[in-house]
Amino acid sequence: MKYGSLIPLRKNDVLRHLKGNVACLCLFRKNTVLSEVTRYRAAILQKPVRSFQVVYKKHTLTLDDLLTLADQNWLNDQVMNMYGELIMDSSHQKVHFLNSFFHRQLMTKGYDGVKRWTKQVDLFSKRLLLVPIHLEVHWCLVTADIVQKKICLYDSQGNGLQKVGRNILKYLMTEAKEKKQTAFESGWTVKVPQQTNENDCGVFVLEYSRCLALTRPLHFSQKDIPKIRKRIYKELCDCKLHEQD
C-alpha cells in the first residue's frame, strides 16, 4: 500500500514488519515468507498494479515509472524530474534542478526555446545548478557552481563530453546577459572531474546530484547501486529525502 510493490524493500524489512502481526507469524515460517517475497517481486514486475500512483507538486509517478528503479532498468524522465524536485526542497531552494528535457530543448530551439523556463527563477541567486543530460541511451550531469563560476561534467562512463558542458556555459552567459547579471557574463571555467567507468548512469546522476546538493562526499561506487536504487524508490514514495541510507 505504501510503495506499490516489494521492490524497494529488503527481505528483512518484510520480516520485521510481520513480527508485529502474530497471526502472520503463526501461519508462515521464515523461509515461506522469503519465498513469497521473491515470487511477488517477480510477479509485480511482469504485471504491475496500475492504480498505484505517487503525486507530489506537479509530478505524478505510476508504478511503471517506479519500476525503472528495479534491477538494472533505465531510469526515465519522470523519476529523474521528481527526484530533482525533492533535492531542491531538501536544499531549501539554494540548489536548482533543471528539468531533464531542458538540454534537448536548448539544443533544438536555442536560448529562445528555454528562455521562459527560468522566468520565475533567479539562477544567479542559487548556490548550485544541476542539469541532467539525457543522451538517448545515456545519462550524465552538468553542474554549475554559481559562486565560483565553475561548470563540471559528471559522467559515470567517463566519456568527458565537454561539448555538453560548453552548451550549458553558453546558456548561462546568455541568461546572465538577458537578466542583466554582468558579473556572470564571463570568467567561467569548465572542468571534467576524474571518474571511473561504471554502469547505471541514471542512478549515478541522481546520486551525484543528491551528494553535491547536500554537500556530501561522492563516496559511492557500482557495488552501492542496488541499495541506492531501493533508497531512491522509498524517497520518491515518501516525497522526501531520507537522512540516512
> Running DSSP on this structure, what letter comes out for residue 101?
T
Residue 97 lies in a domain: yes
Whole-model pTM: value is: 0.86
Residue 53 lies in a domain: no
32-41, 95-104, 132-141, 191-200 — most confident range:
95-104
What is the C-alpha separation between 64 and 213, in angstroms, rounded?
27
Q: What is the pLDDT of residue 13?
A: 73
User: What is residue 128's three-state secondary structure?
Assistant: strand
Q: Residue 163 pairs with which residues in a beta bridge?
A: none
Q: Is residue 161 within 8 Å of 153, Cβ to Cβ?
A: yes
What is the C-alpha separation between 146 and 188, in angstroms, rounded?
9
Q: Residue 145 pairs with which residues in a beta bridge?
A: 128, 150
Residue 93 lies in a domain: yes
28-32, 70-74, 123-127 — most confident range:
123-127
The residue among 5 and 172 whose pLDDT is bigger is 172
> Is 140 one of the annotated active-site residues of the chain?
no
Q: Is residue 90 within 8 Å of 221, Cβ to Cβ?
A: no
Q: What is the pLDDT of residue 65?
A: 95
Residue 245 lies in a domain: no
User: What is residue 126's three-state secondary structure?
Assistant: coil
For residue 195, the enclosing domain spans 70-238
Q: Total domain count for the chain? A: 1
> Is 24 one of the annotated active-site residues of the chain?
no
Q: Is residue 61 within 8 Å of 53, Cβ to Cβ?
A: yes
Q: Is residue 71 within 8 Å of 8, Cβ to Cβ?
A: no
pLDDT tens, residue by residue, 45-86: 556 566 889 999 999 999 999 999 998 899 999 999 999 999
Please tell me which residue in 13, 64, 89, 138 is annotated as part of the active site.
Answer: 138
What grid cell was written down for 68? Answer: 525503472
| Domain CATH code at residue 107 | 3.40.395.10
What is the C-alpha separation between 153 and 159, in angstroms, rounded?
10
Q: What is the pLDDT of residue 126?
A: 97
Q: What is the pLDDT of residue 6?
A: 72
Residue 11 lies in a domain: no
Residue 65 lies in a domain: no
Q: What average pLDDT does the structure give for the chain? A: 87
pLDDT tens, residue by residue, 88-110: 999 999 999 999 999 999 999 99
Q: What is the pLDDT of residue 9?
A: 76
Q: Residue 150 pairs with which residues in a beta bridge?
A: 145, 189
Q: What is the pLDDT of residue 41?
A: 63
Residue 80 lies in a domain: yes
Q: What is the pLDDT of residue 44?
A: 60
Query: Could you tell me the pLDDT band of residue 121, with boundaries at 50, 70 and 90?
Result: very high
What is the C-alpha separation between 77 and 179, in angstroms, rounded?
29
% of the chain residues with pLDDT over 90: 63
* 158 pLDDT above the threshold of 70: no
Q: Which residue carries 511503471 as its cell?
A: 64
Query: Could you tell me the pLDDT band of residue 145, with boundaries at 50, 70 and 90?
Result: very high
Counting every residue, how long is the chain? 245
Residue 21 lies in a domain: no
What is the C-alpha separation between 238 and 241, in angstroms, rounded?
8
Query: Could you tell me the pLDDT band of residue 22, with boundaries at 50, 70 and 90?
Result: low
Q: What is the pLDDT of residue 43?
A: 62
> Is 138 one of the annotated active-site residues of the chain?
yes
* 39 pLDDT above the threshold of 80: no
End-to-end CA distance of the chain: 21
Please tell me which residue in 59, 134, 155, 237 is annotated as part of the active site.
Answer: 155
Strands of the sheet containing 128-134, edge to edge, are 95-97, 128-134, 139-145, 150-154, 189-191
What is the C-alpha separation between 40 and 232, in angstroms, rounded?
20
